[in-house]
Structure 1
Amino acid sequence: MSIRHIVVVLAAALTTACTGSATTPGTEPSRTTSPTTTTTRPPAPAKWRLADAPPTEPTSSLNDIAVVDSTHAWAVGGEKYSVAAQHTSSVPVVVQWDGESWTRVPLPGITRPGSLRHVAASSPKDVWAVGTTLADAGQSTWVIHYDGKTWQDIPFPPGSTPAMNLYTDLAAVDGHAWLIGNSGSQVLLQHWTGGAWQEVQPPRECSAGGASSGGMPNFCTFTSLKAFSPNDIWAVGNGAWAGFKGPLAFHWDGTAWQTVQIGITNEELTLSEIAGTPTNLWAIGDMAMMGGRPLAAHWDGKTWKTVDGLPTGSDLAGVAVDVFGEPWVIQNFTDPSSKLATHRAGKWVATQAPQPRDTVGMTLHAIASVPGTEKMFAVGGADLNTNPRTLRTVLLEYSSPDGAGGNPQTSRPSRPPAAP
């Protein structure tokens, strides 16, 4: 962010000229002293920097992050993973932000091997996380919940048997939770109603009889979620049916999921991430999530419109919307390295993500903004110079040098000028 200058208004020095007129006896001519000039140092611009993350044992990575407010955030992942013992080696990791620092959270009741993939929170006492454990037949999926005191297992029967199910995202709002994903061409939609999981049907177009493009059965993929209330939830992905093939948004109104086209058809594109507010949603994706043609779309509360200009050649892995209403997008490259791009004044501007000095590469997996402040966090894994290659968790913070990132109790910061 460019420096926002604080203007100090200086009073002009007044001088009194002698005119030769007589003065009143017993009085002195008026004397004016010059005011003391003080300059307030402008705040340093916010930028991305490495945050102090709790130590973990390689191979380790943070896969997702959820932020409630300026003093409550959680990031999840796994550590101690070994390719030689991939079914039994990984240990779940949860780290928590309290407004000052990140600390490791104990999980005394969680003893299974595996890694946490997704996390979502609606309040400091309603935090959900989803993990997976690898098996020969695929993977099992399990769910844990934090009530403000302890993390506990939440039975999840659909994931108890290893299968080729891929749960791609998680959302939580007002005591409800949603898990979405796919199993082959079948959409997986699981809704926690407050006491049990309930399977929900996808939009009719996703499963109705008939053939999509190329004679394939109708299908949809659900990849990412953003929940605003139990009756207002958005998801993104893609789909195909007779007469349509391309990226999609989906909306839940409390009764049913509906497909919402974004203006692109007959193209092999998908949306993979979504973030924002009910009237300022951003979604990103690319060609079949393979680092091909990039795609960004914006919802203003009425219509979806595509936004051009994202550079090609990277995998778009996450999106967040900052306090100014601007999107930030993770770009991962094959070297491996990462950039963070924002859309400002009609164009995309990318910043190289800082990387730990003792590493040879880095991949970011998720990004989130802190409500009411400029602060943001991004999480992932950094490549160590080992053979075989191993990873170590990495956590980035976007803030001013003092780490404040703006005060949520003050008025919203003014929008910074566009980068050149």
Structure 2
Amino acid sequence: MAVGVRVRTLLIGAVSALVIGGGLPAAAVAAPASEAAAPPWSAAKLPSGDTVLTGSVRPDAHTTWTAGFRLGEDGQEIAFRPVVFAHDDRSSGPWTEMTTAPGATGRINALAATSARDAWLVGDADFEGDPVMTQHWDGHVWRLKPAPMPANSLSGGLLGVDAVAANDVWAAGWAQVVDRRIPDPDGGPTQIVDHQEGLVEHWDGRAWHRVALPKQYANWGLNAISASGPKDVWAVGSGYGDDDRPVVLHYDGRSWTALPTPPYGGLYGEFNDVVAKGPHDVWAVGRTLLDENDRGHALIMHWNGKAWTRLDRPADAGPLTGAAPTRDGIVAVGNTVDRESGYALKVAGTRATSLGFPATTDGTAYSPWKVSTSGRAVDVSGAFNITGQQFPQPMLLSTRL
């Protein structure tokens, strides 16, 4: 199996799939006519650049950061460089690009912050045997902090991060691990037999440590992690191949355990994001495939401390890729079943209602990836494309609940 095939197809591949559509005006963005009652959306005036944004956070009352990666050509391959933009919300001035850690390369897949003096960026391991070079913000500069990979790993990365405190940070992802190498007796390429496994790392204030996890399937990975406190941490993902089913792990302050597969209502299913509001109030979103030809429908599930409940979804709601907490539930973002438009939902109780996310028009497509909230403020990160350009442009849309 190629490096990270299943994980990258769903997540990083889905980020690449943001590269569709046309130009985005850096001003007010109208909701479709059918959503006239929905709150208006506005687009951040970000620096231009061939960039995908994979998350955002508000580290204090007046600051917003958004991060991702810039794309460029390196010979015959696509190269990635980490990008972080910052804005003082008290000003109408431009966003500025922060200087990331010296020597930092590759993608930023997720970010988290406990304050404007303590924040994290996580991404991928660039080469065989390398650690994941996370970045930590101390209030002045970003510094590289290596997170160990499993022995004999070919590749891997961290796709989600959540910070409980400065000495209690969790990150989740995947690793491709070599089981054995079989030399070709005729001198050809060595055959590699490998598997993929979920990965959770913990920062204790001094270093990252890889933690032991219950094995789920022959091949599986984690896509997101969320903590309501030091004794309530949740990680979600999926199995691959014949075991393409949602994975849910929980940490109770002592050890990680696996929960039974929730009733996801399809042939296959996966969780792409999780929001832990407490041990008895956890939300997970992703996609479920109804048949072999299905490209995916939205999957929204809630844990009440005893069992999972699957919520109804709009008929055209495709895979959900991001979720964030609200006072009475969550907001979630994804793409329609036909992949032609993005959408955003507010979920409260058992009801999911549209937030009137801007619809695709002639020459413009809005492609959300992740969503964050702070009070009533909602920020959706992703990308859009200008017709005729090879690479995407950064997109950060905001509204209020």
Same fold flag (TM > 0.5): yes
Q: Displacement, 1:239?
A: 4.8
Q: Displacement, 1:141?
A: 3.3
Measured against aligned partners, the alpha-carbon deviations of 1:285-320 in whole angstroms (never above 9, x if no partner) come to 113798424321112344432212343562211112
Matches within 5 A, 1:197-346: 197-203=208-214, 205-206=215-216, 218=218, 220-239=220-239, 246-261=245-260, 263-264=262-263, 267-278=267-278, 279-287=280-288, 291-312=295-316, 314-323=318-327, 325-333=328-336, 336-344=340-348, 346=350
User: Which residue matches 2:85?
Assistant: 95
Q: Displacement, 1:181?
A: 1.6
Runs of 4+ in structure 1 deviating by more than 6 angstroms, as ranges, are: 137-140, 159-162, 355-358
- Larger Cα-atom Rg: 1
Give the aligned residue type for 2:357.
Answer: A
Greater length-normalized contact order (CA 8 Å, ≥ 6 residues apart): 2
Matched, 1:361 2:365: yes
From 371, 375, 378, the counterpart of 1:376 = 378
Cα distance in 2 for partners of 1:142, 1:363 equals 28
Matches within 5 A, 1:172-191: 172-174=163-165, 175-183=167-175, 184-191=195-202
- SS of the equivalent of 2:155 reads coil
Give the aligned residue type for 1:299.
Answer: W
Cα distance in 1 for partners of 2:131, 2:386 equals 29
Bigger fraction of residues in strand: 2
Cα distance in 2 for partners of 1:280, 1:73 equals 27
Q: Displacement, 1:366?
A: 0.5
Cα distance in 2 for partners of 1:358, 1:125 equals 43
- SS of the equivalent of 2:139 reads coil
Matched, 1:126 2:118: yes
Q: Displacement, 1:229?
A: 2.2
Q: Displacement, 1:393?
A: 0.4
Structure 1: runs of 5+ lacking an equivalent: 1-43, 207-216, 400-404, 406-420
Query: CA distance change for structure 1 residues 337 and 85 in 2, over 3 Å: closer, same or farther?
Result: farther
Q: Displacement, 1:357?
A: 8.7
Query: CA distance change for structure 1 residues 359 and 92 in 2, over 3 Å: closer, same or farther?
Result: farther
- Contact kept in structure 2, 1:247 and 1:269, CA below 8 Å: yes
Cα distance in 2 for partners of 1:141, 1:359 equals 38
Aligned-pair identity in percent equals 22
Cα distance in 1 for partners of 2:150, 2:237 equals 22
Matches within 5 A, 1:94-173: 94-100=84-90, 103-107=95-99, 109-132=101-124, 141-158=132-149, 163-173=154-164
- Contact kept in structure 2, 1:176 and 1:192, CA below 8 Å: yes
- Contact kept in structure 2, 1:275 and 1:281, CA below 8 Å: yes
Q: TM-score, normalised by structure 2?
A: 0.72
Matched, 1:52 2:73: no
Cα distance in 2 for partners of 1:351, 1:228 equals 25
Cα distance in 1 for partners of 2:144, 2:312 equals 43
Give the aligned residue type for 2:201.
Answer: Q
